[in-house]
């Protein structure tokens, strides 16, 4: 048994070690040095600019809606083909 001195040392370690990690890893210097440049490798900015004019926004929304409708029609067609090609059992094969 270590005694009260060891308990104080353990308590100090348990309390201040997470604080030290938060100060070091959460500081702006660490972010600028290690994180800021890496964000563009995994999440690059968009290649074409986003529309800002109302007419451009409406055209972009119309394109998105049309693409969504095409994907939905393709998905429904695929599901229909799956249902048509799936053999249906008569239910008499169970031996219970």
| Contact between residue 57 and residue 51 where contact means Cβ atoms under 8 Å apart | yes
pLDDT tens profile 41-76: 777 777 888 889 999 999 999 999 999 999 999 999
Residues 6 or more apart whose CB falls under 8 angstroms from that of 60 comprise 51
Q: What percent of the chain is predicted at pLDDT more than 70?
A: 89
Domain boundaries, the chain: 1-45, 48-85
Residue 29 to residues 23, 32, 33, 36: CA-CA distances in angstroms? 10, 5, 6, 10
For the entire predicted model, the pTM comes to 0.42
């Amino acid at each position: 048994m270590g005694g009260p001195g060891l308990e104080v040392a353990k308590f100090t370690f348990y309390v201040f070690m997470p604080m030290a990690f938060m100060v070091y890893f959460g500081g702006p210097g660490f972010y600028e040095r290690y994180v800021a440049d890496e964000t563009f490798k995994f999440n690059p900015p968009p290649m074409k600019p986003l529309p800002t004019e109302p007419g451009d926004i409406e055209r972009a929304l119309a394109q998105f809606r049309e693409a969504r409708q095409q994907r939905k029609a393709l998905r429904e067609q695929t599901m229909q083909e799956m249902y048509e090609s799936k053999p249906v059992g008569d239910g008499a094969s169970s031996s219970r």
